[in-house]
Amino acid sequence: MIVSASQEILPRHQERIGRETGEDLLIYPSLDQIPQSVADDAEIILTFGNNLTDSNPAPVNISRFPKLKWIQMLSAGIEDLPLQEVCERGIAVTNVSGIHVAPMSEYVLMCMLHFEKDMERYRTLKQQKKYDRTKLVGELSGREALLYGTGTIGQAVARVLSFFQVRVFGVNTSGRPVDPFVETYSLKQAQQKIGTADYVISLLPSTSLTRGFFSRKTLQLMKEDGVFISLGRGDVVDENAVVAMIREGKLKGAAFDVFQKEPLPPDSPLWDCENLIVTPHMSAKSVYYIDRCIDIFIRNIQAYRGNRPMVNLVNTAREY
């Protein structure tokens, strides 16, 4: 039995899955609304996974699904899953890595152009009804970007930025070379490079190695006219440190699409910080998002039933 725990799965998606795989998909608004009689027989769950846990008290305990064999995530990250029990039970996890490349590449480009073209200033001038052409703006050509994360999304972002003659450097855990980055550094080696980058972009997942990585100590290595862009996971960045550095004139600006706590609380200093873009975890979203998820899910159902390798199979022991 296959169950879905997302209101974003529409009847047309349900119909397509049935037509192309012969499988019935039961759709519920959330995991906690799946009846126990259904949970008892669920073999496959299609979910964002953000309310599945391994302990009580909790919204939903994974033990409710005794026959669960496979979780198809509707996101790339797996940090919200109860990984220990998933590993112990041998539950397969696949994600939708790869579907985010177009919207996230466009998002990074939008943020960089926002700061190069000084759009904050133009917004202020509009509010003042003031026509002022006295200040020139920058260009992307010749800028340096340092991307923390050289996977599928990082490579796509690098290709887009390279088209605009941005020199793009990458960071991964080992420092192994990856195309199309000019050079690639390990996390430790990048400490020597971060000070020359005009744009530092975090695509880091949330793992025991990366949580809190962008501390004030690390952020202070950036150049004063640098821009920090956070797209990976919110808990890798000290948000308050970024705000303080912008206000102290030690950073040109920042863009946040992910946060330590989501939804972002009304009392967060990010809301009131000038030269800081805030978007509600939307950089990967587009009108095609769920359609692309279903493409992967159908391909994986066919592989699963045919005892063939599934795409985007996650190594849960590595946490990403």
Task: Fill in the DSSP letter of residue 298.
Answer: H
- The rounded distance, in Å, linking the Cα atoms of 109 and 103 is 10
Give the CA distances from residue 211 to residues 170, 245, 313, in Å, rounded to whole numbers and listed in that order.
19, 20, 23
Question: What's the whole-number mean pLDDT along residues 33-57?
Answer: 86
Contact 148, 190 (CB under 8 A): yes
Give the CA distances from residue 24 to residues 45, 47, 68, 247, 303, in Å, rounded to whole numbers and listed in that order.
12, 16, 16, 55, 16
Q: Which amino acid is at 196?
A: T
- The rounded distance, in Å, linking the Cα atoms of 9 and 7 is 5
pLDDT of residue 57: 52
Q: Say if residue 270's pLDDT is above 80.
A: yes
Contact 51, 59 (CB under 8 A): yes
pLDDT of residue 53: 74
pLDDT of residue 55: 60
Question: What's the whole-number mean pLDDT along residues 165-180?
Answer: 97
Lowest pLDDT segment from 5-9, 182-186, 266-270, 289-293: 5-9
pLDDT of residue 50: 74
Question: What's the whole-number mean pLDDT along residues 14-40?
Answer: 95
> Tokens at residue 161, please?
């930025």
Q: Say if residue 7's pLDDT is above 90.
A: no
Condensed to tens digits (0 to 9), the pLDDT of residues 281-317 reads: 999 999 999 999 999 999 999 999 999 999 999 998 8
Q: Say if residue 269's pLDDT is above 70.
A: yes
pTM for this structure?
0.88
Q: Which amino acid is at 231?
A: L
Mean model confidence pLDDT for the chain? 95
Condensed to tens digits (0 to 9), the pLDDT of residues 52-87 reads: 876 655 557 899 999 999 999 999 888 889 988 999
Residue-wise DSSP of 48-88: --TT-BSSSSSS-BGGG-TT--EEEESSS--TTS-HHHHHH
The number of angstroms, rounded, from the C-alpha of 147 to the middle of its chain's C-alpha atoms is: 13
Domains of the chain: 2-98+287-318 (3.40.50.720), 101-278 (3.40.50.720)
> 228: exposed, middle or buried (C-beta count within 10 Å: 0-12, 13-18, 19+)?
buried
pLDDT of residue 318: 77
- The rounded distance, in Å, linking the Cα atoms of 258 and 167 is 25
Q: Say if residue 151's pLDDT is above 80.
A: yes
pLDDT of residue 34: 93
Q: Say if residue 319's pLDDT is above 80.
A: no
Tokens 């759009």 belong to residue: 119
Task: Fill in the DSSP letter of residue 214.
Answer: B
- The rounded distance, in Å, linking the Cα atoms of 33 and 150 is 38
> Tokens at residue 253, please?
């600006």
Confidence of residue 172 (pLDDT cuts 50, 70, 90): very high
Confidence of residue 49 (pLDDT cuts 50, 70, 90): confident
pLDDT of residue 87: 92
> Tokens at residue 280, please?
């509600």
pLDDT of residue 30: 86
Confidence of residue 248 (pLDDT cuts 50, 70, 90): very high
Length of the chain: 320
Q: Which amino acid is at 187?
A: L
Q: 145 by DSSP, 3-state: which?
A: strand
pLDDT of residue 68: 97
pLDDT of residue 320: 64
Give the CA distances from residue 257 to residues 19, 21, 145, 228, 284, in Å, rounded to whole numbers and listed in that order.
36, 36, 18, 11, 9
> 74: exposed, middle or buried (C-beta count within 10 Å: 0-12, 13-18, 19+)?
buried
Condensed to tens digits (0 to 9), the pLDDT of residues 206-243 reads: 988 999 999 999 999 999 999 999 999 999 999 999 99
pLDDT of residue 60: 76
